[in-house]
Amino acid sequence: MIPKDGPYANDVRAGAEVKVLPAGEPIAYAFVSLSPLSLKITNATTTSLSPAFRSFTASRQPAQIRIAPGDSVSLTIYEATPGGLFLSGDNAGRNGNYVQVPVQQVDASGSIDVPYAGRVRVAGQTTEEVGREIAKKIATRAIEPQVVVSLSDRRGNEVSVLGELLSANFPGRFSLDPGGIRLIPAIAKAGGPKYPPYETLVTVQRGSQTEQAIMTNILRNPAQNIQLRPGDTVYLSREPKIFLTLGATPSPGAVGGINNRRFVFDNDNVTLTEALAKSGGLDDQRADPTAVFIYRRESKRTLAEMGVDTSAYREDFVPTIFTVDFSQPDGLFLANSFFMRDRDVIYVANSRVTDTNKIVNIFGQTTRSFYEVSFGAGSASVLGGAAGAVR
């Protein structure tokens, strides 16, 4: 007869044919109070966890562009004196000869045809190497030949830039210039990222290797702005970081009409103070300012640097609860320097007085309801009789 929106917990448990109860020991966790030392150590780990390129930064020089199948190659052959192998109709009055060979596209086998040199394989070589090879092949017939090779149309040596790009018209790939190109100019050429740098994850696939970096790291550190190589694939994705706030903070919807429990980072680094402020702060009717907790998994190495005995933990990352006392003057300084991480959970415990207030409120509501039921009808009859007497 009492309205409800689902079965009671006991009904759910009792209706199960098979019950799997919690097995083993409860999760063991570390408990760390924030201090200048622990703050410095954990923040250093937070900063180091930001995605960044590792091995790709070793190469600082542009990749050497080599001829590939599909490229169009232009040849100009020079001879030292007139009367040689290559004659053109307009070489009168010049000391030497030269001829331009019609532009050829490198075929699937990676070769082109050169007069008096025959079939020449050019794929995988630089233009300088191809020029020397052709000159060597015709050296017995031409007079001190020199060959200049240039790429008139590059269709090989491509890099691909895909993902969350601002421009929808970018074809997805382009050929590298002989001078090479770095990552940021390549992304700019593709139209730039669609989302803010702190939410943009850049993935570079190079052969069998794949590395990632957050866009802000690339912008701030020149070494992260790597040189691209032919065949590289660059992919931009949106990877927003979030934190959760639970416990004695304003109820969902109380701050800006939104569900203020799950929040997205709006910068590279968000401090604990900023996170609580975004959550609406502590509820001064319920919150215990001495019991603000941050739940995360911290590395054993970081905890060991803080002096925590981690020998009992088998995993590399240990469930850890950090705490800060907001009732102390220095609590705000510590909280304002503590960097949040993706998926951190902030929990603000209720004050002990809150439970007492709940009991008092329940007792007050019960007493009020009892009074209204017991005396409401009698009071109405008395009032009705008095009204009749007046009439």
- What is the topology classification, in CATH, of domain 24-49+268-353? Outer membrane lipoprotein wza fold like (3.10.560)
Distant-in-sequence, close-in-space partners of 137: CB < 8 Å, separation ≥ 6: 114, 116, 117, 118, 120
Higher pLDDT pick, 22 / 388: 22
**The predicted structure's pLDDT at residue 42:** 96
Number of C-beta neighbours around residue 386 at 10 A: 9
Q: What is the pLDDT of residue 161?
A: 96
Phi, psi (rounded to 5 degrees) for 35: -145, 165
For the segment(s) 55-63+157-238, the CATH number from 3.40.50.300, 1.20.810.10, 3.10.560.10, 3.40.50.1980 is 3.10.560.10
Encoding tokens for residue 24? Answer: 């083993």
Q: What residue segments make up the domains of the chain, in order of their start?
A: 24-49+268-353, 55-63+157-238, 72-153
pTM for the complete prediction?
0.76
pLDDT of residue 351: 86
Residue 254, token pair as written in the block: 């109380």
Pick the more confident residue, 356 or 391: 356
Which residue did the predictor score with more confidence, 85 or 324?
A: 324
For the segment 16-35, what is each residue's pLDDT rounded down to a tens digit? 888 887 766 778 899 999 99
Strands 317-324 and 30-33: parallel
| pLDDT over 70 at 378, yes or no | no
User: Cα–Cα–Cα angle for 200, 205, 210, nearest 5°?
Assistant: 85
Q: What is the pLDDT of residues 258-304, one digit of tens each?
A: 667 889 999 989 999 999 999 889 988 889 999 999 999 999 999 99
Specify the DSSP element, H or E, that contains 384.
helix 352-390
* Mean of pLDDT values over 345-356: 82
pLDDT at 383 over 50: no
Q: What is the pLDDT of residue 65?
A: 83
pLDDT of 71 above 80: yes
Where residue 379 falls among pLDDT bands split at 50, 70, 90?
low
State residue 390's pLDDT score: 43
Q: Which CATH class is domain 72-153?
A: alpha beta
Where is 295: in which H helix or E strand?
A: strand 287-299
Same CATH fold, 55-63+157-238 and 24-49+268-353? yes
Tell how strand 72-79 and strand 30-33 pair up: unpaired
Residue 251 pLDDT = 78
pLDDT at 320 over 60: yes
- 118-155, pLDDT tens digit by residue? 999 999 999 999 999 999 999 988 888 999 998 888 88
Structure confidence by residue, pLDDT tens digits, 81-101 = 776 677 655 555 555 678 888
The mean-pLDDT minimum among 68-82, 226-240, 255-269 falls in 255-269
**According to the model, what pLDDT value does residue 131 have?**
93
Question: What confidence category does residue 171 fall into, taking pLDDT thresholds of 50, 70 and 90?
Answer: confident
pLDDT of residue 90: 57
186-212: pLDDT as tens digits: 999 999 999 999 999 999 999 999 999
pLDDT given at position 358: 61
pLDDT of 391: 42
Mean pLDDT across the chain: 86
Q: Of 336, 338, 268, 332, whose CA–CA distance to 296 is shortest?
A: 338
Average pLDDT (383-387) is: 49
CB distance 334 to 34 below 8 Å: yes
